[in-house]
Amino acid sequence: MLTIANLSITFTQYDQGLRRKQLAVITDLDLSVQAGELVAVVGASGSGKSLLAHALLGILPENAQLSGTMAFQGQPLTPERCEELRGKAIALVPQSVGYLDPLMTVGRQVQRVGQLNGLPAGPAKTLMKRTFNRYDLPAQTPRRYPFQLSGGMARRVLVSTAVVTQADLVIADEPTPGLHPDVVTETLNHLRELAQAGRGVILITHDIDAALQVADRVAVFYAGTTVEIAAAQDFGTGNLRHPYTQALWRSLPQNEFVAVPGNQPSPENLPPGCLFSDRCPQVTADCRQARPDHRLVRQGWVRCIHAEG
């Protein structure tokens, strides 16, 4: 349904006076999503997770240049097509109620999404009520304003905004941080249901634990590049291919709780070779020569010259 290959995004910034500099915020990003599949995108802040969502929705700032390919249902995704599809075929589950209109009741907002998708007011209202009902929201919820919702209710309203669109691709950007485990599980199950209904779902998160609870596949981003795409079960079975993914898994508190020192390289001075080379325990001279190409190793996708089958 969605194929992204070698996507790069560069921002042009003014440095001093009229001198311009190029910031490569995303380099060689790859991702694919099938209908009925939930793909998690995990990585640290600054790894390009949210920029990917912005690119798919066509809401990157004007100083951004894209290269590489993005295709949705077989057709290339141009900025014009993104604008046409967003909120209809491609929908976003926002991060918090901060994305809702604070001065409009949540019922009217969700109904309005239905109307923007071509439904007349009456059926849109019925659909909104049916959706709220399905998520066990109390009968008076449509008349509530965003600030009157508890954390768990807010999550269900935000998922509803995507459900009423009939979108084929749903993107959920960091839907879980700081929530109680019960609410996290509930939110993740709602996303899982969307995939079971035949939609493609992208779950953007920094929480590997949450991702593994519901994802079919996990794409790991580092410094704006995809370093590995693994099946969710590869994590528990130790079948990981990239040193960064292995380090991320080891650093969980329920595992070894050890960290790799250092930081992601800044977009202003990316290393010429592998982007993880300055922190990688397995680094060799070859790693510093050129960006590693992606390869298929043990049924997984990896960008590392040392991964072995």
Partner 1 sequence: MLKAEELWFRYGTQLPWVVRDRSLAIAPGDVMGLMAPSGYGKTTLGKLLAGYLIPTQGNITLDAQPLPHRGYCPVQIVFQNPELAVNPRWRIDRILREGHPPQLQHLEALGIHPSWMNRYPHELSGGELQRVAIARVLNRHTRYLIADEMTAMLDANTQALIWQVILAFTRQFGVGIIAISHDQPLLNRICQPQAIISLSQNTAPRYTPKSPA
Residues that bind partner 1 (CB under 8 A): 42-46, 150-151, 177-184, 206, 208-209, 247-249, 251-254, 257-263
Nearest distance, CB of residue 41 and partner 1, angstroms: 12
> In the complex with partner 1, which residue's Cβ is closer, 16 or 75?
16
Mind giving me the DSSP string for 168-212? SEEEEES--TT--HHHHHHHHHHHHHHHHTT-EEEEEES-HHHHH
C-beta closer to partner 1: residue 131 or 176: 176
Compute the least distance from the CB of residue 40 to partner 1, in Å: 13
Element (H, E) at 157: helix 151-163
Minimal distance, residue 199 CB to partner 1, in Å = 27
3 state DSSP class of 159: helix
CB of 243 to partner 1, least distance (A): 12
Instruction: Give the side-chain half-sphere CA count within 13 A for 52.
Output: 39
Give, in order, the Cα–Cα distances in Å from 79 to each of 82, 83, 88, 201, 302.
5, 6, 15, 21, 29
Give the residue with the Cβ less far from partner 1, 259 or 290: 259
Q: Which tokens hold the place of 103?
A: 């001065």
Residue 68 identity (one-letter amino acid): G
Rank residues 107 and 267 by Cβ distance to partner 1 and give the closer one.
Answer: 267
Q: How far is the CB of 207 from partner 1 (least distance, A)?
A: 8
In the complex, least distance from residue 271 CB atom to partner 1, rounded to whole angstroms = 15
Report the 10 Å Cβ neighbour count for 50: 15
Q: Does residue 100 contact residue 94 with C-beta atoms inside 8 Å?
A: yes
Helix, strand or coil, per DSSP, at residue 269: coil
In the chain, the N- to C-terminal Cα span, in Å, equals 28
The residue among 184 and 274 lying less far from partner 1, judged by its C-beta, is 184
Which lies closer to partner 1 via its Cβ, residue 3 or residue 246? Answer: 246
Which lies closer to partner 1 via its Cβ, residue 199 or residue 241?
A: 241
Provide, rounded to whole angstroms, the least separation between the CB of residue 227 and partner 1. Answer: 13
> Residue 275 burial by CB count (10 A; 0-12/13-18/19+): exposed, middle or buried?
buried
